């Protein structure tokens, strides 16, 4: 299945469009070249951690990391996605998987045309406009939820496209589940976050707080450490320290890819006074050193 899709990807990605990312061109993956999307409006395949070229789609895609960690660039921002993360990639979102020396991952791509997705949303009484207008279309899956997608993707991979009537039904079930999870956990849960917590996240994401510590977060929040820690765990699934580490490493990845800033300066920017400690933390998170990461993925 992986080899088939690798061939499909190379064959159909033939339209170059300039999307404003430096001098790069994003390749358009056209659903008209996918027999399943043309016939049923839906498609599903597995993909391993091989790097992909910068590309965009004229359809929607649920991107689900099923093992390892994926280094994902979307709309000119690099993120490290852990196992169990589901993202909804919208038409014209520019994204790619970046290579990593030792971190490997697999993920599922569940694709659906805009018309089909709107029909599915209407059928389960979910606002299509709400989903597509959200800037954050991401959710962390539970073990059971991830197993649902992995199990059904495996079933689909063994089916014959033209002869198995369950092929379309199973993929539609996966899309319904994905939409319900996004609507429930992303749309509603963030609305339920305390206003002070949302404000705190906005502040610590600003350049002024690149080197912030947990104590800085407690000061910004204006609440006692136990209250802040409990809220972080409830809303993000991470402790304050874990959240800061992830935030800093993701931003460091961006700087490594998009600038020529020396690694030692990047280390200092994010509050790591010891270069060796920064390199250790970076390798624990990405599976490679900052220098090797830059060499593999730099835009320059």
The dihedral formed by the CA atoms of 74, 70, 234 and 149, expressed in degrees to the nearest 10: 100
- In Å, how far from its chain's centre is CA 287? 18
Gyration radius of the chain's alpha carbons: 20
Question: Is the predicted pLDDT of residue 20 greater than 50, yes or no?
Answer: no
DSSP 91-119: TT--EEEPP-SS--EEEEEEEE-HHHHHH
Q: What is the mean pLDDT of the chain?
A: 82
Of the pLDDT bands very low, low, confident and very high (cuts 50, 70, 90), residue 244 is very high
Interval 96-131: pLDDT, tens: 888 665 667 888 999 999 999 999 988 888 888 877
Maximum CA pair distance of the chain?
A: 61
Question: Is the predicted pLDDT of residue 5 greater than 60, yes or no?
Answer: no
Query: What percent of the chain stands above pLDDT 90?
Result: 38
Q: Where are the alpha helices (DSSP H) in the chain?
A: 2-12, 35-40, 114-123, 128-133, 143-157, 166-181, 189-191, 195-204, 214-221, 225-236, 240-258, 263-269, 275-286, 290-297
Cβ count near 116 (within 10 Å): 21
Question: Is the predicted pLDDT of residue 133 greater than 90, yes or no?
Answer: no
pLDDT of residue 101: 57
If you average pLDDT over residues 54-83, what whole number do you get? 88
Of the pLDDT bands very low, low, confident and very high (cuts 50, 70, 90), residue 138 is confident
If you average pLDDT over residues 62-74, what whole number do you get? 87
Question: Is the predicted pLDDT of residue 300 greater than 70, yes or no?
Answer: no
pLDDT of residue 254: 84
Question: Is the predicted pLDDT of residue 23 greater than 70, yes or no?
Answer: no
From the list 156, 98, 139, 153, the residue with the least C-alpha distance to 236 is 139
Interval 246-295: pLDDT, tens: 899 988 988 888 889 999 999 999 999 999 999 999 988 888 899 988 88
pLDDT of residue 135: 57
Interval 75-95: pLDDT, tens: 888 888 888 899 999 998 999
Q: Tell me how far apart the alpha carbons of residues 246 and 250 are, in angstroms, rounded to a whole number.
A: 6
pLDDT of residue 11: 36
Query: What percent of the chain stands above pLDDT 70?
Result: 83
Long-range contacts of 33-39 (CB under 8 A, 24+ apart): 33/8, 34/8, 34/111, 35/161, 36/161, 36/167, 37/111, 37/112, 37/113, 39/161
Buried-state track 227-243, b at ≥16 Cβ within 10 A, e below 16: ebbebbeebbeeebeeb
Which domains are assigned to the chain? 2-190 (2.60.120.280), 195-297 (1.10.10.60)
Of the pLDDT bands very low, low, confident and very high (cuts 50, 70, 90), residue 21 is very low
The answer to whether 23 and 70 are in contact (CB under 8 A) is no
Q: Tell me how far apart the alpha carbons of residues 289 and 73 are, in angstroms, rounded to a whole number.
A: 18
């Amino acid at each position: 299945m992986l080899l088939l899709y690798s061939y499909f990807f190379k064959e159909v990605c033939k339209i170059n469009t300039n999307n404003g990312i430096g001098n790069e061109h994003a390749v358009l993956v056209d659903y008209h070249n996918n027999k399943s999307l043309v016939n049923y409006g839906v498609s599903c395949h597995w993909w391993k951690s091989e790097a992909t070229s910068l590309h965009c789609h004229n359809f929607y895609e649920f991107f689900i990391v099923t093992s390892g960690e994926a280094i994902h660039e979307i709309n000119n921002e690099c993120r490290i996605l852990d196992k169990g993360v589901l993202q909804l990639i919208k038409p014209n979102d520019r994204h790619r998987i970046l290579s990593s020396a030792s971190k490997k991952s697999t993920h599922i791509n569940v694709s659906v045309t805009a018309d089909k997705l709107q029909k599915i949303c209407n059928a389960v009484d979910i606002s299509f406009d709400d989903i597509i207008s959200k800037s954050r279309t991401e959710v962390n899956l539970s073990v059971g939820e991830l197993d649902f997608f992995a199990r059904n993707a495996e079933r689909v991979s063994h089916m014959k496209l033209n002869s198995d009537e369950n092929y379309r039904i199973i993929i539609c079930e996966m899309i319904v589940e994905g939409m319900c999870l996004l609507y429930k956990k992303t749309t509603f849960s963030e609305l339920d976050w305390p206003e002070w917590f949302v404000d705190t996240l906005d502040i610590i994401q600003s350049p002024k707080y690149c080197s912030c510590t947990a104590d800085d977060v407690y000061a910004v929040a204006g609440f006692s450490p136990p209250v802040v820690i409990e809220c972080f765990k409830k809303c993000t699934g991470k402790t304050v320290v874990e959240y800061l580490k992830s935030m800093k490493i993701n931003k460091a990845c961006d700087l490594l890819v998009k600038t020529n800033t020396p690694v030692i300066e990047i280390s200092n920017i994010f509050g790591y006074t010891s270069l060796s400690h920064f390199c250790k933390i970076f390798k624990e998170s990405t599976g490679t050193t900052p220098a090797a990461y830059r060499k593999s993925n730099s835009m320059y």
